[in-house]
């Protein structure tokens, strides 16, 4: 006879897997619907522009190049630390979850895929880190319109990830949350 604690644990595990499967299925369905509905309405060139503007291979060298200029902003070192934190944290989480990218976009061209994993979105984490960092460090002091533009860019870039079929909605949401959290960590602990 099987002990009741083993049966209860098996039931809990089955329910947990069922819930997880339901969430993933719902996320896939919503993401594919959004992708199918809007991807032909918004020009792909605009979506690709957003994609490239948030690529780590552009943002990090650009930020690093500011380091060699004679007038270095005081927030540059924390910003570089934050970009590296983002790269490490997102890479770690992706390697743990290993969620495949959307099946309805088998052709990832023209973007060069750095990895094959979808959760969380590195582009979303990066742009929301930049937006959160800009807000917390008052990068655009006295220019609320520019700060608004950075947040709008972050939102549009994140949405473009779903519209291009690169990520699921939950990937983008999680990436955005990671980005804001990273900005708070840098502001609180890594800005020395």
Domains identified in the chain, total number? 1
Task: Dump pLDDT digits (tens) for 140-180.
Answer: 677 788 889 999 999 999 999 998 888 999 999 999 999 99
pTM for the complete prediction?
0.81
For residue 185, count other CB atoms closer than 10 A to its CB: 16
Distance (Å, whole) CA 181 – CA 187:
10
Q: Which residue ranges of the chain lie beneath pLDDT 70?
A: 1-16, 66-67, 69-72, 106-114, 140, 192
CATH number of the domain encompassing residue 178? 1.20.144
Q: Is 35 a catalytic residue?
A: no
Distance (Å, whole) CA 121 – CA 162:
10
Given 35, 48, 103, 123, which residue is catalytic? 123
Given 20, 21, 39, 167, which residue is catalytic? 167
Q: Is 21 a catalytic residue?
A: no
Residue 112: its pLDDT value, please? 47
Instruction: Give the domain extent around 49.
Output: 4-189
């Amino acid at each position: 006879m099987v002990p009741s604690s083993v049966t209860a644990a098996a039931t809990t595990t089955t329910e947990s897997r069922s819930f997880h499967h339901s969430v993933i299925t719902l996320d896939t369905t919503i993401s594919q619907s959004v992708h199918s509905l809007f991807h032909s309405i918004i020009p792909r060139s605009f979506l690709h522009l957003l994609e490239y503007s948030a690529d780590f291979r552009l943002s990090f060298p650009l930020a690093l190049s500011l380091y060699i200029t004679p007038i270095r902003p005081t927030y540059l070192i924390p910003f570089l630390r934050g970009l590296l934190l983002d790269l490490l944290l997102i890479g770690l989480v992706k390697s743990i979850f290993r969620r495949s990218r959307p099946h309805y976009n088998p052709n990832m061209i023209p973007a060069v895929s750095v990895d094959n994993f979808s959760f969380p979105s590195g582009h979303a984490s990066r742009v929301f880190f930049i937006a959160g960092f800009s807000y917390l460090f008052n990068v655009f002091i006295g220019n609320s319109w520019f700060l608004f533009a950075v947040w709008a860019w972050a939102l549009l870039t994140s949405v473009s990830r779903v519209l291009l079929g690169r990520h699921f909605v939950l990937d983008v949401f999680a990436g955005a949350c990671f980005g804001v959290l990273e900005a708070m960590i840098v502001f609180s602990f890594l800005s020395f």
